[in-house]
Amino acid sequence: MELLGLGLSLLVLFVVFGFMVGVLFGFFGMGGSFLITPTLLILGYPASVAIGSGLAFYFGTSVIAVMKHYDVGQVDYKLGAALFVVLSIGIELGSRLVFALEALGIAELVTGAAYVLLLAGIGLLFLRRAYAIDDEDDADDEDEIDDDEIPPIAQKIQSYRIPPMISLVSGGRTSLWTVTGAGGGVGLVSGLIGVGGGFIRMPAIYYLIGTPLTAAVGTSLFAGLFSGAYGAFTYGMQGSVDLAVVGTLLVGSALGARIGSAATTAVEEDDVIIYFALMMLFASAGIAVSELADWLEIGTLDVLSVVLLVGSSFFVGLMILYQFASELDTGEPDARPEAEADD
């Protein structure tokens, strides 16, 4: 039995997986394409289809987040427009590189290797963040960082006034060359491995360009919305976006995102961040096992890779839902600000 060209088992998998990714998106504010693309690769989809569908999924989920930040005025539109241009150029170059690698027959290998390193790095960074949170809990409140504070490295970069310069929402100014380098590099990575790039783009805006943290998140989403649309269009023109897969994932994601957003008022970030870091590490391990399975031609390893990748996201999503349900039962939800990351 097939629906939309998908077997029943795949249809259920994509809806449920989309739901769990939606929970994570609503809770952490990330698009989730970094999970979608490698999952499609493991399930046997061509690299170009997995990447194009991941970008299309990111575009769909990011629309909700952009509207949220637009309502509270956390978007630097001038910077976002400039980033969109260079991001689009980077994505175009990245997509051309993917098709060239596909012609050589090594696109899956290169994409998989990039994911292993990237997700492992993110996981380790989150583990470090979890450790830092424990240290901050023991520090005085006066040591907390102000959201409007510009990082020292960004202040240093802004001190080099190489024209043309553009004004920032913070009142500062930065060189257009800085924006070009940061945005172009992120766009290249997005086009190469099929992620929205928010987990790279937002830190680049904050640490390199020098926009306050809250504005960096909103501006990153704004730029990513259009670059995600452009990336999906680029791959779509090549017939590399599976609309049945994207649509099914978005059906589950729409519901999950609402529940995940509601959970931000009830679940302590400290209780979940360690699971998120482990999810990244397990996802990295899952892709590494998949590459090993292709090399050794062992089908059992392919099953293990799916369990590690999909199962890790399910585990974190279920932990969020469990803690949310527990807080609702007690009737005493903890109010906390929503975690600000966008992919």
For 8-20, letters b (16+ CB in 10 Å) and e give eebbebbbbbbbb
pLDDT at 339: 44
pLDDT at 336: 44
pTM above 0.85, yes or no: no
pLDDT at 222: 78
pLDDT at 73: 63
Of all residues in the chain, what percent carry a pLDDT higher than 70? 77
Per-residue pLDDT reduced to its tens digit, 200-225? 777 788 878 888 766 777 787 777 77
pLDDT at 30: 61
pLDDT at 340: 45
| pLDDT < 70: residue spans in the chain | 1-5, 26, 28-34, 64-74, 129-130, 132-149, 170, 194-199, 213-214, 227, 264-265, 267-273, 331-343
pLDDT at 173: 82
pLDDT at 17: 84
Per-residue pLDDT reduced to its tens digit, 320-334? 888 888 877 776 555
pLDDT at 145: 45
